[in-house]
Structures are given as C-alpha cells and as structure tokens.
Structure 1
C-alpha cells in the first residue's frame, strides 16, 4: 500500500490485506478515503460498529445505475469493476428491486433445503478425500485448494444449479477472473462477454430440457412471469448465485485449514472436544474472511459518521470486512489473534442487513462437513512448506490462498 497525496492506495494484488487495514486504522478516522484498483476512490471503514451501521442504513445503496455519479458518467466501465457493477441482480440493486429479486431466490436457501443438501455434500466430500488419499500415496504432497477446497463447493453449487460437467471448467475460470482486480480493460471486457455467453448457454439448455435444479426454477419464473425477472436479471442472478455460492466457501475451507495447521493448539482444542468445529468455522470467518473488501456501496444522501467524517451524496463505500473483523474496539487487544474460544465471535463476513448472504447456511454447512472429514481422514495432515506463507489469490477483494501445499499423510 502506498500513499498518493491525501489518498491511500490499496494493492491490486492484495498481498497484505490485514497490514493495509492496520495501517489505515492507525490514521485514527472512522472512515478513510482510499483508492481501489483502476483509480476508484471510495471510503474505507475501519470500525466494526460504523461498518455494521452503514450496511443496514437505508441511505446506502448498492445500485450504481441510480446512485453513483461516476458510473452514470460512464467511468470505470473499462476496469475490473465491469464484472461487478454492470449487473442486474441482488448484489447491485436497491429498495423494491432488491426485495423483488431476493424474493425469487430466497426459497432455494431455506433451512430445510440446506439440510436436504447435506447427503450431497457428504458424498462429494468423501469422493474428493478418496482421490486425495490415492494421490497422496503416489506423490506425497498435494495442493489442498485444487484437490479439495475448490472442487467441493464448486461441485455442490453446480449440482444445485444443474451445471453440466462439461461447463464446469469454464465456470471455474470465470469465477477466478471475477475476483482478479488486476484485469486490464481488454480482459475485463472479454470476461464480461464470456460470462454472458456461459450463462446464456446454461439458461437455454434448461429451457430445452428443464430439470429439478435451481436454474430451471429461475428460467421458469422468467418465462412464465416475465414481469418478475428480465432476461438480464436472470443471467446476472445465475452469475451471482453460482459465483458467491462457491468462492466464499473455497477460501473459508482453505483459510480454516491453514489457520488450524499454523495454530496447532487451536486444532488440539477441537480434537479434544474442548471446542467445536462450529467454533473453528466462525473464528476463521472473523479472522480470515473469504471476502476482505466488497465493492461497492453508494451514499444516497450525505452521511455524517460519529467522529464527524462526512460521506457525501454519491460517494462510493467499500465494505471493509477484513478490517472491521479485527477492530480492537470490538474485540479488544486480541483482535488480531486466532482464538476459537473467543466469547464475542460476531463478524460481518456474510454482510449485515437486507443484503445478508442467502448462502451463509450452505457455506457453513459445507465447511462443518469438510473440515472434520478432512482431519479425520488425514490426522497427520501438515503444511508442505511450513516456513513459507502460501501465495494469496491476486485480489484486493478476496482473501484466500492461490495454492495451499500440504502433506496429507504427514
């Protein structure tokens, strides 16, 4: 991170997200103006309570078409933001539009439906662990991300939405690109084109041959009740649900494994029954959130923060989850420590308010299934390069490991 005049510039590669957060916090303001990749100026909120309030404040919108003058002027459409903001789905909507779109998708993520997914998650987990065991016996060292943390949620969400096997590699490629905040204008534009092509192909396949999957349900809602969902809203909703449905869980699993292997005392607490896997999952979500900085929200009107900072109408705001989740004012002097017995484990990793993540129960269930199964199958699991920090994904948004080399058999 480097300073440019009065504005702090975030690293597009996300190489030290927590270090950036700490440096900005030391500036002492509730919110600091920062520069995101591609020159986007936005408010970075350091305090948990302030961010939590803004996330539920009706004066804060997620619709750039209505509430961000820069977007209305055509700015930043040749950047990585194109794949994030040029969308008509729950993530980029406000007010009644958001309620309408969320209502269409919410029934798919009820507690009952999530519980019904458990056998599927257990089956996929077992299949991946079998493959890991075979590969470990042959090679010794594996990349946990590519062997386990990534394919588990990707296969779960693709089964849920009926994505055919031959389309899944393209889905993986596109989801990785969405999180990459180093994309050039040409790459961002091509990614947007490729995304629409992929989801158009998926929707057309379900029109021709509908199934019991959620894509078929959404296509039916679009075709039978055209006023409920436009074609672009359908495609953008599929992008959001499939993208969010796997990316957060990929990093959650990888971050949890890395945290537990680098904090063996914490892993021992779980193994001895003095803490639960739920405790480990929630502390990972707090300490190493899968999404560190979520773009963007916009001030519908001028907002005065408790310390006197003024966010002007039309200003952009980044949801600084990684910073808020380690705020000493919320968690005390141990805010930066990984402690699964923490008494106040509240966090903002799934958002807050009307945009709270619908898929949170599914992500938690996948992690609670994957982690004990992994450590039970491989009780001697260890990092292959314990002295080295694994490479981070190249993103100012996501927080996770691009690779996580491990030795499953010790």
Structure 2
C-alpha cells in the first residue's frame, strides 16, 4: 500500500511453506484478512518471499497468469521480494544454512535471476522493484584470507551477472529492478563499512571493465549500471545490532552514491547487563525462552569503553553472562515491532522510529518499506498473537508512525 509516498508491506516469509502451492494458499488466506483489519481501501502491496522451489513453479506462464488474475481481483500488487532464504525457512534447523547456497554458487545467481524475471512481470508500471538477498555468504565458512578472497572473486562475478541481466530487463521492459544486499551480523557484509568495501574494492573495479566490455558501454556508464541495479537492503534490526546510527549510515551511503533499495522494518532484543549476580541469574532465566534451535541469534555486546564483542549465537553469549564485563547485548531475534519491551527485556524499537523520521525528512533515501518479523512461531508463548492479528498490528503501528 502507498503511505506518504512509500510502498509499504510485510514480508511473506512470516508464512511457513516452501512450495508455490503453500505460498499461494497463505497469501489467499492472510492478504484479505490483513486488508480488512487495516480497513485498506486502496491497492495492497505484497512483499513476496519465494523459495527456489516455488520460483520454478511460478515462472511457468499459466501459473503466473493465475497469480496475476488473483492479484487483480484482490486489488493487490507485488513490488518487492525476499530472495535471502533459498530453501526451507520454517520448522527446521536453519541457522547458518540460511546463507546456503551463497553468492559463490551459480545456484544463488540463477535463483535470483529467475526471481527477477518473475518480478518484472508482476511489477506495476511506474514502480521500481527490488529483491533482497544474502550479504554474500556466512563469514565463518571461510578459514583464511585466501579463502575469502577466492570466494569474493566468484561472488562478485555472479553479482555483476545479475546486474547485467537487470540492465537487459530494463532495456526490454522499461522497469528498474535492483538487487538489495542485506548486511547482517556474521555475514561477510555486516555493517556499512563492509558494504562500501563491496563496492569500492570489488563491484566497481571489476564491474567497470567487465560490464563495459560485455554491454558495449563506457566504464563510467558501467559504474552507473552497478549502482542502479545493486543497492542496499537496510534491515533496521541488523544495523541496530551493530550499533550504527541511522543518520550516519545514510549519510555514508549517500556520499558514496550507493542507494537503499529497501528498508526492512524490524526490531532486535536489547538487554542491559546488570552488575549484581542475582540480577544476572534472573536475566539468564528471562533470555532462555529465546534460545531456540531454528534460527541464528547472533549477539553483539558493547563494553564499558565502547568496544564491541560478537557471539555467533545466543547460547554462546549466555555461557559468559555470569562473568562478562560487557554492559549491553543486542540480540538478532526479530521481535514484534509494536512492543518496546518484553517484561524485563527491551527491544531496539526506538531505532525504527529514528529511521522512519530520517526518511520522512528525506524521502529520496528509499521508497520501499517492508515489515519483517518472521519469528512468530518461535517466540515465547506469552508474546504470540494470531498471525493475521500480528501482521495487522505491525503494519498499523508503522502507518501510525508515518502519519
């Protein structure tokens, strides 16, 4: 839906199911309910998550036509997609496998290009469309600098091949599509500086030469193609976890000429570490319900001197809670955005408000907003609502903030 000039939706990765049949059934069940709960009178935007399996089905012309007919009947449209999880994302152990296959593989490249071909046909005229994706790979899979360099060489080539495909789609259809790379803790790219490194050390030096030769354009125009078709997915939760200030991050990207294709509206868990042993024991008890086996819940801790320490998963951090000198933890657990606390635990909801204020002051920063809380099934029971109510309350909270 369009609010204040922004395209707003929720990400359908909230729904379990990897097949197109399961994906479509969830959309048919929940989109009308959410529209009714929000009293949405206009067209309703969808943030579509397609697994690789589902994308192979939906690209078939008769299946795609059926979906387009349903969208028309429901006054709904697709403007953004989530291409980060390639395969199973619910009711199984995902953890670091959410990155697999990564950008060093042809499978990731081909899945992404297939998804863009679908988006090009679904996207309404006059809108740009984006697909968010993995931050290249999971950094702990690379055992040495040489391993990382070899992986980046291959990944960069695959990313440039996607940019070339999107340039061709624009020539054929007039539609601007962008790949939105999503930094997250323990990804190869986990903050703004590493995102800049991807452009300055890899995409632009290699892409200026390769794209210019492949497409028969100047190197200057090749760089423009890269920056138009490869952008950033700014996940508020992820950037909050690494303690970045939104205004500083936005300014950094603007100075480098890097665009933000999509802002994912999400909140992380946040806790202040108490000094007293009894209070730490209680904190551990309150955090244990969030120690679950489906997703990685990376922890970034701040020390009294302002330094940062990282833990690959919440259980690793809990092992040192009794003795740590750290003062604050931010935990990669996507919690409902309309709550700022969970009993004795807090969230980074304030970062969402700051981000929304920043883009209201400067709407040119992005026009795609997508609420992304996908952990409803693994949240502690006392924080759960029905799925339709959960989605609606999150969107309503964002709409209120924007207005």
Normalised by the length of structure 1, the TM-score is 0.28
From the two aligned structures, give the one with the greater strand fraction: 2
From the two aligned structures, give the one with the greater helix fraction: 1
Normalised by the length of structure 2, the TM-score is 0.28
Bigger relative contact order (CA 8 A; separation at least 6):
1
